[in-house]
């Protein structure tokens, strides 16, 4: 089944404790992206990747890192999480950047 998977689905952590949210797609898509969703703000892009080893900042990259060592995986890293990073995070992939995007189920992160 073609899908985008994210792990974990739910995470509660404390300020400053490094965490990684994994994202994997099995559709051989070139493009992958991370978004955060906050009430009233819609989806805001954090980082995106046009292909392996090619990543770039989105609209709200501060406090986040990504890597794209393999085509299928695009982990999101929070080196020192803060409470303002409490949000719902979505990973997405697409054949190319301006094509239909396929979304993962979301990761709800709470930073206390």
Partner 1 sequence: GEDVEQSLFLSVREGDSSVINCTYTDSSSTYLYWYKQEPGAGLQLLTYIFSNMDMKQDQRLTVLLNKKDKHLSLRIADTQTGDSAIYFCAESIKGGATNKLIFGTGTLLAVQP
The least distance separating partner 1 from the CB of residue 5, rounded to whole angstroms, comes to 11
Question: Radius of gyration over alpha carbons of the chain, in Å?
Answer: 13
Pairing between strand 65-66 and 54-57?
Answer: unpaired
Instruction: Name the burial class of residue 34, with classes exposed (0-12), middle (13-18) and buried (19+) by CB atoms within 10 angstroms of its CB.
Output: buried
Per-residue x/- track, 72-101, partner 1 (CB under 8 A): ------------------x-x-x-xxxxxx
63 binds partner 1 (CB under 8 A): no
SS3 state at 83: helix
Region of 12-20, 35-43, 60-68, 75-83 interacting with partner 1 (CB under 8 A): 35-43
Among 11-19, 21-29, 65-73, 102-110, the segment contacting partner 1 (CB under 8 A):
102-110
């Amino acid at each position: 089944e073609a899908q985008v998977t994210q792990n974990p689905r739910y995470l509660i952590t404390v300020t400053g404790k490094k965490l990684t949210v994994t994202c994997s797609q099995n559709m051989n898509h070139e493009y992958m992206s991370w978004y955060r969703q906050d009430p009233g703000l819609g989806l805001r892009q954090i980082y995106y990747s046009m292909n392996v080893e090619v990543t770039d900042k989105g609209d709200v990259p501060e406090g986040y890192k990504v890597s794209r060592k393999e085509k299928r995986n695009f982990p999101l890293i929070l080196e020192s999480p803060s409470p303002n990073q409490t949000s719902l995070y979505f990973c997405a992939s697409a054949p190319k950047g301006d094509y239909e995007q396929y979304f993962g189920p979301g990761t709800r992160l709470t930073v206390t």
